[in-house]
Amino acid sequence: MNLEEEQNKSPQPHRAADSLQAGQVSNQFILIATLTAKSVLRYTPAGVPVCEFELAHESEQLEASKTRAVKCTVSALAMGVAAKQVEQISLGQLGEWSGFLALRSHKSKSLRFHVCAMRPC
């Protein structure tokens, strides 16, 4: 179910301003996608494992009451236990990836998906 469908079924739609006033800010991203590329596991100077990778997604979504074919490639990064998990996954593996979105760097305007957990599909 997408956001449009949820809002049509919900008697009172969630408003971002309500969350901000309550002090709850959310940045959660979940994507069902295929692992298409990954770097060799590396470690930060503090010894934290890091793995950079790419995910490919294809689906049909409802937008403005019309079906839309969606295809995208997402740049992703995992750290710690999640990085070690990604290292063990084979290219071509479909999974449900969850985490948050952040800028690639403080000088960049492009986003990167920071994966905190992955569940094979």
This model's pTM is above 0.85: no
The residue extents of the domains of the chain are: 26-120
Rounded CA separation 63/75 (Å): 24
Distance from C-alpha of 62 to C-alpha of 1, rounded to nearest angstrom: 9
Residue type, 87: E
As a dihedral over the C-alpha atoms of residue 7, residue 12, residue 18, residue 24, rounded to 10 degrees, the angle is -70
Q: How confident is the model at residue 21 (pLDDT cuts 50, 70, 90)?
A: low
Residue 55 CB coordination number (10 Å): 23
pLDDT digits (tens, 9 = 90+) for 52-111: 999 999 999 999 999 999 999 999 999 999 999 999 999 999 999 999 999 999 999 999
The architecture (CATH level 2) of 26-120 comes to Beta Barrel (2.40)
Residues forming beta bridges with residue 56, ordered by sequence position = 34, 73
Q: What is the tens place of the pLDDT at every residue in 23-56?
A: 678 999 999 999 999 999 999 999 999 999 999 9
